[in-house]
């Protein structure tokens, strides 16, 4: 996937601008404790797509030495949620569901690329898809998720 970052100024939002400053960096400074633990590296982000790279660590694996399905689901949930956050809407969204398929294993040291894309953005429900691939392009896991608007207003991001 090639993510286009060419947007008109009317489409820009403060959260997207805030997140773009982290392109090329690991998420160790994220406001999300889960994102800090996963410690992916933001590759690209646009108005409806994003891409993050992860390295599989031993503490992400099951007893068979492969990426734990729960961790793959966590990566997918984190990237779809971050994508919706980056859309710049006034209110926070929360997951209604997260449907995951686990298709191929990943092992310690594998570099994985996780991509999320908004498929449909309604007024109160947003449908997002995510996919994790390995270095040879095989799909490790994929998901679809619906998120619903909450009553919680999101504060403006700080540059701290």
Per-residue pLDDT band for 11 (boundaries 50, 70, 90) equals low
Instruction: Say what the pLDDT of residue 43 is.
Output: 98
- What is the average pLDDT value for the chain, to the nearest integer? 91
Q: 3-class DSSP state for residue 132? A: strand
pTM for the model stands at 0.90
Residue 8 has pLDDT above 60, yes or no: no
Burial of 22 (0-12, 13-18, 19+ CB in 10 A): middle
Here the tokens at position 79 are 């990237």
How many of the other CB atoms lie within 10 Å of CB of 99?
A: 12
- Band (pLDDT 50/70/90 cuts) for residue 12 is low
The per-residue pLDDT for 30 is 84
Domains of the chain from N-terminus onward:
14-153 (3.10.129.10)
């Amino acid at each position: 996937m090639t993510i286009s970052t060419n947007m008109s100024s009317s489409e820009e939002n403060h959260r997207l601008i805030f997140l773009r400053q982290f392109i090329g960096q690991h998420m160790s400074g994220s406001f999300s404790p889960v994102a800090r633990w996963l410690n992916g590296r933001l590759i690209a982000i646009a108005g409806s797509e994003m891409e993050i790279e992860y390295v599989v660590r031993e503490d992400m694996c099951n007893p068979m030495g492969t990426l734990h399905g729960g961790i793959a689901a966590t990566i997918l949930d984190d990237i779809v949620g971050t994508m919706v956050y980056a859309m710049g809407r006034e209110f926070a969204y929360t997951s209604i569901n997260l449907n995951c398929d686990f298709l191929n294993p990943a092992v310690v040291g594998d570099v994985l690329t996780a991509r999320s894309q908004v498929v449909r953005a309604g007024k109160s429900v947003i449908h997002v898809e995510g996919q994790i691939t390995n270095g040879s392009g095989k799909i490790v896991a994929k998901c679809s998720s619906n998120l619903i608007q909450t009553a919680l207003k999101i504060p403006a991001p700080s540059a701290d």
